[in-house]
Structure 1
Amino acid sequence: MEKLQHDQFSVAILPPATAYHPVDGRKYTLIMSTGEMNCHLAIGFKYETDLLNAEKEKIITAEWKPRLGEYVLTGKIDLGSLNNFHLMQAELAKAISMMVKADKGLYTHVPWLLDAPIYMEIDSYIHKYKTIQYFGTPRQYLK
Protein backbone atom coordinates (compact mmCIF):
# COMPACT_ATOMS: atom_id res chain seq x y z
CA MET A 1 0.00 0.00 0.00
CA GLU A 2 1.40 3.34 -1.08
CA LYS A 3 0.67 6.02 1.51
CA LEU A 4 1.29 9.76 1.38
CA GLN A 5 0.79 12.05 4.38
CA HIS A 6 0.37 15.84 4.28
CA ASP A 7 -0.38 17.42 7.66
CA GLN A 8 -4.02 16.39 8.11
CA PHE A 9 -4.54 14.73 4.71
CA SER A 10 -3.51 11.15 4.04
CA VAL A 11 -3.73 9.17 0.81
CA ALA A 12 -3.63 5.39 0.50
CA ILE A 13 -3.50 3.55 -2.83
CA LEU A 14 -4.83 0.10 -2.06
CA PRO A 15 -3.42 -2.90 -3.97
CA PRO A 16 -3.90 -4.25 -6.52
CA ALA A 17 -4.43 -0.63 -7.66
CA THR A 18 -1.32 1.41 -8.38
CA ALA A 19 -0.64 5.07 -9.08
CA TYR A 20 -1.23 4.33 -12.80
CA HIS A 21 -3.73 1.47 -12.93
CA PRO A 22 -6.72 0.90 -13.28
CA VAL A 23 -8.72 3.63 -14.95
CA ASP A 24 -11.98 1.71 -15.44
CA GLY A 25 -13.60 1.42 -12.05
CA ARG A 26 -10.90 3.37 -10.18
CA LYS A 27 -12.67 4.32 -6.98
CA TYR A 28 -12.01 7.16 -4.55
CA THR A 29 -13.25 7.25 -0.97
CA LEU A 30 -12.67 10.57 0.77
CA ILE A 31 -13.54 10.63 4.44
CA MET A 32 -13.70 14.11 5.96
CA SER A 33 -13.87 14.55 9.71
CA THR A 34 -16.34 17.26 10.68
CA GLY A 35 -14.89 18.01 14.12
CA GLU A 36 -11.24 18.19 13.13
CA MET A 37 -9.80 19.05 9.74
CA ASN A 38 -8.56 15.51 9.02
CA CYS A 39 -9.16 13.91 5.62
CA HIS A 40 -8.33 10.40 4.46
CA LEU A 41 -8.42 9.40 0.79
CA ALA A 42 -8.37 5.77 -0.32
CA ILE A 43 -7.86 4.93 -4.01
CA GLY A 44 -8.57 1.40 -5.18
CA PHE A 45 -10.97 -1.11 -6.71
CA LYS A 46 -13.65 -0.69 -4.01
CA TYR A 47 -14.98 1.96 -1.68
CA GLU A 48 -13.37 1.96 1.78
CA THR A 49 -16.33 2.79 3.99
CA ASP A 50 -15.40 0.54 6.92
CA LEU A 51 -13.23 3.31 8.42
CA LEU A 52 -16.18 5.70 8.56
CA ASN A 53 -17.56 7.05 11.85
CA ALA A 54 -20.97 8.25 10.63
CA GLU A 55 -21.54 10.64 13.53
CA LYS A 56 -18.31 12.60 13.09
CA GLU A 57 -17.44 12.17 9.43
CA LYS A 58 -18.86 12.58 5.97
CA ILE A 59 -17.90 10.58 2.96
CA ILE A 60 -17.46 11.48 -0.68
CA THR A 61 -17.14 8.67 -3.22
CA ALA A 62 -16.15 8.93 -6.86
CA GLU A 63 -15.36 6.54 -9.71
CA TRP A 64 -13.95 6.70 -13.23
CA LYS A 65 -16.51 5.27 -15.68
CA PRO A 66 -16.52 5.03 -19.48
CA ARG A 67 -19.55 6.78 -20.99
CA LEU A 68 -20.24 7.22 -24.71
CA GLY A 69 -16.60 6.75 -25.70
CA GLU A 70 -15.08 8.99 -23.03
CA TYR A 71 -14.32 8.75 -19.35
CA VAL A 72 -16.35 10.56 -16.72
CA LEU A 73 -15.54 10.98 -13.04
CA THR A 74 -18.83 10.52 -11.21
CA GLY A 75 -19.22 10.94 -7.50
CA LYS A 76 -21.69 11.16 -4.66
CA ILE A 77 -22.06 12.88 -1.33
CA ASP A 78 -24.92 12.36 1.10
CA LEU A 79 -25.85 15.57 2.89
CA GLY A 80 -28.50 14.01 5.07
CA SER A 81 -30.44 16.96 6.43
CA LEU A 82 -27.67 19.55 6.13
CA ASN A 83 -29.19 22.97 5.51
CA ASN A 84 -26.11 24.94 4.43
CA PHE A 85 -26.02 23.85 0.79
CA HIS A 86 -23.69 26.65 -0.39
CA LEU A 87 -21.06 25.90 2.26
CA MET A 88 -21.18 22.24 1.23
CA GLN A 89 -20.60 23.14 -2.44
CA ALA A 90 -17.37 24.95 -1.53
CA GLU A 91 -16.27 21.95 0.55
CA LEU A 92 -17.12 19.61 -2.30
CA ALA A 93 -14.97 21.61 -4.74
CA LYS A 94 -12.11 21.44 -2.21
CA ALA A 95 -12.64 17.68 -1.84
CA ILE A 96 -12.54 17.16 -5.62
CA SER A 97 -9.35 19.19 -5.74
CA MET A 98 -7.79 16.93 -3.10
CA MET A 99 -8.78 13.80 -5.04
CA VAL A 100 -7.43 15.12 -8.34
CA LYS A 101 -4.14 16.40 -6.89
CA ALA A 102 -3.56 13.22 -4.88
CA ASP A 103 -3.85 11.15 -8.06
CA LYS A 104 -1.63 13.42 -10.20
CA GLY A 105 0.49 10.46 -11.40
CA LEU A 106 -2.53 8.91 -13.10
CA TYR A 107 -2.92 11.97 -15.34
CA THR A 108 0.72 11.72 -16.41
CA HIS A 109 0.08 8.23 -17.81
CA VAL A 110 -3.50 8.82 -18.96
CA PRO A 111 -3.48 12.49 -20.04
CA TRP A 112 -6.87 12.39 -21.80
CA LEU A 113 -8.47 12.17 -18.34
CA LEU A 114 -7.40 15.79 -17.74
CA ASP A 115 -10.32 16.99 -19.86
CA ALA A 116 -12.89 14.45 -18.68
CA PRO A 117 -15.99 15.90 -17.02
CA ILE A 118 -16.61 15.59 -13.28
CA TYR A 119 -20.20 15.13 -12.09
CA MET A 120 -21.22 14.90 -8.45
CA GLU A 121 -24.57 13.66 -7.19
CA ILE A 122 -25.66 15.49 -4.09
CA ASP A 123 -28.12 13.42 -2.08
CA SER A 124 -30.19 15.01 0.66
CA TYR A 125 -33.39 14.50 2.62
CA ILE A 126 -34.29 18.03 1.54
CA HIS A 127 -35.60 17.64 -2.01
CA LYS A 128 -34.44 21.03 -3.31
CA TYR A 129 -30.79 20.12 -2.55
CA LYS A 130 -30.92 16.75 -4.31
CA THR A 131 -29.10 17.33 -7.60
CA ILE A 132 -26.34 16.29 -10.01
CA GLN A 133 -23.85 19.05 -10.71
CA TYR A 134 -20.98 19.55 -13.12
CA PHE A 135 -17.69 20.39 -11.36
CA GLY A 136 -15.38 21.02 -14.31
CA THR A 137 -12.44 18.83 -15.32
CA PRO A 138 -9.32 17.55 -13.53
CA ARG A 139 -7.21 20.04 -15.50
CA GLN A 140 -8.98 22.91 -13.72
CA TYR A 141 -8.07 21.49 -10.30
CA LEU A 142 -4.40 20.94 -11.14
CA LYS A 143 -3.76 24.63 -11.91
Structure 2
Amino acid sequence: MSQFNPSKLHVHYMMPATSYEPVVGRKYTLTHSDKTGDLFLNIGTQYNLNAIDKKNKDEVLAGWIFQEGRYLLKGRVYVTSGEFNEQLSKIRFTIFQKELSLALTAIIYGDRKFYFYHPYLLDAPIYIQFESSLPEFHRLMYCGTPRWYLLTA
Protein backbone atom coordinates (compact mmCIF):
# COMPACT_ATOMS: atom_id res chain seq x y z
CA MET A 1 0.00 0.00 0.00
CA SER A 2 1.16 3.49 -0.77
CA GLN A 3 2.11 5.80 2.09
CA PHE A 4 -0.06 8.88 2.60
CA ASN A 5 1.88 12.09 2.02
CA PRO A 6 -0.11 15.23 2.98
CA SER A 7 2.04 17.40 0.71
CA LYS A 8 0.74 15.41 -2.30
CA LEU A 9 -2.90 16.14 -1.42
CA HIS A 10 -4.65 19.07 -3.12
CA VAL A 11 -8.06 20.02 -1.72
CA HIS A 12 -10.67 22.13 -3.48
CA TYR A 13 -14.05 23.16 -2.03
CA MET A 14 -16.80 23.51 -4.58
CA MET A 15 -19.40 26.07 -3.52
CA PRO A 16 -21.72 26.00 -1.68
CA ALA A 17 -19.70 23.50 0.41
CA THR A 18 -17.34 24.94 3.02
CA SER A 19 -15.09 23.44 5.66
CA TYR A 20 -18.08 23.17 8.02
CA GLU A 21 -21.22 22.56 5.94
CA PRO A 22 -23.26 20.79 4.71
CA VAL A 23 -23.22 17.42 6.44
CA VAL A 24 -25.91 15.48 4.59
CA GLY A 25 -25.21 15.71 0.88
CA ARG A 26 -21.50 16.48 1.33
CA LYS A 27 -19.69 14.69 -1.48
CA TYR A 28 -16.07 13.80 -2.12
CA THR A 29 -14.43 13.17 -5.49
CA LEU A 30 -10.90 11.79 -5.11
CA THR A 31 -8.74 11.44 -8.20
CA HIS A 32 -4.99 11.03 -8.67
CA SER A 33 -2.10 11.42 -11.07
CA ASP A 34 -0.23 8.22 -11.90
CA LYS A 35 2.75 10.34 -13.03
CA THR A 36 3.24 12.49 -9.92
CA GLY A 37 1.41 10.54 -7.22
CA ASP A 38 -0.61 13.66 -6.39
CA LEU A 39 -4.11 13.23 -5.00
CA PHE A 40 -6.91 15.66 -5.85
CA LEU A 41 -9.86 15.96 -3.48
CA ASN A 42 -12.94 17.93 -4.48
CA ILE A 43 -15.47 18.58 -1.71
CA GLY A 44 -18.92 19.77 -2.71
CA THR A 45 -22.61 19.01 -2.84
CA GLN A 46 -22.15 17.21 -6.15
CA TYR A 47 -19.39 14.99 -7.47
CA ASN A 48 -16.87 16.77 -9.68
CA LEU A 49 -17.66 14.87 -12.87
CA ASN A 50 -15.13 16.98 -14.81
CA ALA A 51 -12.30 15.54 -12.70
CA ILE A 52 -13.18 11.93 -13.46
CA ASP A 53 -11.07 10.00 -15.98
CA LYS A 54 -13.80 8.50 -18.13
CA LYS A 55 -11.44 5.90 -19.61
CA ASN A 56 -9.80 4.52 -16.45
CA LYS A 57 -12.67 5.14 -14.00
CA ASP A 58 -10.33 4.81 -11.02
CA GLU A 59 -11.64 7.56 -8.76
CA VAL A 60 -13.17 7.15 -5.30
CA LEU A 61 -16.54 8.83 -4.74
CA ALA A 62 -18.09 9.19 -1.29
CA GLY A 63 -20.71 11.20 0.52
CA TRP A 64 -22.38 11.72 3.87
CA ILE A 65 -25.89 10.35 4.24
CA PHE A 66 -28.35 9.96 7.11
CA GLN A 67 -29.81 6.48 7.03
CA GLU A 68 -31.85 4.53 9.57
CA GLY A 69 -31.25 7.11 12.29
CA ARG A 70 -27.48 7.48 11.88
CA TYR A 71 -24.89 9.25 9.79
CA LEU A 72 -22.58 7.27 7.60
CA LEU A 73 -20.01 7.93 4.94
CA LYS A 74 -20.86 5.81 1.94
CA GLY A 75 -18.59 5.58 -1.05
CA ARG A 76 -18.06 3.65 -4.21
CA VAL A 77 -15.39 2.49 -6.57
CA TYR A 78 -16.02 1.24 -10.07
CA VAL A 79 -14.68 -2.18 -11.04
CA THR A 80 -16.60 -3.07 -14.22
CA SER A 81 -19.92 -3.12 -16.04
CA GLY A 82 -18.59 -5.63 -18.53
CA GLU A 83 -16.15 -3.49 -20.49
CA PHE A 84 -13.23 -5.04 -18.59
CA ASN A 85 -12.65 -8.80 -18.83
CA GLU A 86 -12.54 -10.95 -15.70
CA GLN A 87 -8.75 -10.84 -15.39
CA LEU A 88 -8.58 -7.05 -15.68
CA SER A 89 -11.56 -6.71 -13.33
CA LYS A 90 -9.73 -8.82 -10.75
CA ILE A 91 -6.66 -6.59 -11.08
CA ARG A 92 -8.81 -3.46 -10.66
CA PHE A 93 -10.56 -4.98 -7.64
CA THR A 94 -7.23 -5.91 -6.04
CA ILE A 95 -5.74 -2.46 -6.64
CA PHE A 96 -8.81 -0.74 -5.18
CA GLN A 97 -8.63 -2.98 -2.09
CA LYS A 98 -4.91 -2.27 -1.70
CA GLU A 99 -5.20 1.50 -2.14
CA LEU A 100 -8.53 2.11 -0.40
CA SER A 101 -6.93 2.92 2.94
CA LEU A 102 -4.78 5.60 1.29
CA ALA A 103 -7.81 7.03 -0.53
CA LEU A 104 -9.92 7.17 2.63
CA THR A 105 -7.05 8.73 4.58
CA ALA A 106 -6.81 11.42 1.91
CA ILE A 107 -10.56 12.10 2.02
CA ILE A 108 -10.77 12.25 5.80
CA TYR A 109 -7.49 14.14 6.29
CA GLY A 110 -8.31 16.55 3.48
CA ASP A 111 -11.56 17.47 5.22
CA ARG A 112 -10.21 17.34 8.79
CA LYS A 113 -11.49 20.83 9.70
CA PHE A 114 -15.00 19.51 9.08
CA TYR A 115 -14.67 17.17 12.10
CA PHE A 116 -13.87 20.10 14.38
CA TYR A 117 -17.41 21.36 13.69
CA HIS A 118 -18.96 17.88 13.64
CA PRO A 119 -17.04 15.67 16.10
CA TYR A 120 -20.00 13.26 16.35
CA LEU A 121 -19.07 12.08 12.85
CA LEU A 122 -15.65 10.83 13.96
CA ASP A 123 -17.15 7.47 14.92
CA ALA A 124 -19.58 7.17 12.01
CA PRO A 125 -19.16 4.02 9.92
CA ILE A 126 -17.63 4.15 6.46
CA TYR A 127 -18.88 1.76 3.78
CA ILE A 128 -17.49 1.40 0.27
CA GLN A 129 -19.43 -0.29 -2.51
CA PHE A 130 -17.33 -2.08 -5.10
CA GLU A 131 -19.49 -1.78 -8.22
CA SER A 132 -19.16 -4.68 -10.62
CA SER A 133 -21.30 -6.70 -13.00
CA LEU A 134 -19.20 -9.70 -11.93
CA PRO A 135 -20.66 -11.03 -8.64
CA GLU A 136 -17.27 -11.94 -7.14
CA PHE A 137 -16.18 -8.28 -7.24
CA HIS A 138 -19.52 -6.67 -6.36
CA ARG A 139 -19.50 -6.17 -2.61
CA LEU A 140 -20.05 -3.69 0.17
CA MET A 141 -17.11 -3.32 2.55
CA TYR A 142 -17.02 -1.80 6.02
CA CYS A 143 -13.93 0.42 6.18
CA GLY A 144 -13.76 1.75 9.75
CA THR A 145 -14.46 5.29 10.94
CA PRO A 146 -13.05 8.76 10.25
CA ARG A 147 -11.34 8.72 13.66
CA TRP A 148 -9.26 5.72 12.61
CA TYR A 149 -8.02 7.47 9.44
CA LEU A 150 -7.19 10.69 11.27
CA LEU A 151 -5.17 8.75 13.86
CA THR A 152 -3.18 6.95 11.16
CA ALA A 153 -2.62 9.93 8.82
Same fold per TM (> 0.5)?
A: yes
Change (3 A) 1:140 1:7: closer
Greater helix share, structure number: 2
Cα distance per residue 1:33-92 (max 9 Å; x no partner): 345423211000100011223235611110100112210000000022432333321211
1:8 aligned partner: 8
Greater strand share, structure number: 1
**Letter of the aligned partner of 2:90 in structure 1?**
N
1:117 aligned partner: 125
Residue 98 of structure 2 aligns to a residue in which SS? Answer: helix
2:48 aligned partner: 48
Query: Aligned pairs, how many?
Result: 138
Bigger RCO of structures 1 and 2 (CA < 8 A, at least 6 apart): 2
Residue 105 of structure 1 aligns to a residue in which SS? Answer: helix
Residue 50 of structure 1 aligns to a residue in which SS? Answer: helix
Shift of 1:7: 4.2
Distance across 2 between alignment mates of 1:73 and 1:31: 18
1:126 aligned partner: 134
Distance across 1 between alignment mates of 2:141 and 2:121: 18
The alignment-based identity, stated in percent, is: 34
2:66 aligned partner: 66
Change (3 A) 1:38 1:141: same
Contact 2:122/2:146, CA 8 A, preserved across alignment: yes
**Structure 2: 5+ residue runs without aligned partners?**
1-5
What is the root-mean-square deviation in Å for CA atoms of aligned residues? 1.7
**Structure 1: 5+ residue runs without aligned partners?**
1-5
Distance across 1 between alignment mates of 2:16 and 2:102: 27
| Higher mean displacement: 48-57 or 22-31 | 48-57
Distance across 2 between alignment mates of 1:9 and 1:51: 15
**Letter of the aligned partner of 1:122 in structure 2?**
F
**Letter of the aligned partner of 2:59 in structure 1?**
I
Contact 1:100/1:138, CA 8 A, preserved across alignment: yes
Cα distance per residue 1:96-119 (max 9 Å; x no partner): 110001111111110000000000
Residue 116 of structure 1 aligns to a residue in which SS? Answer: coil
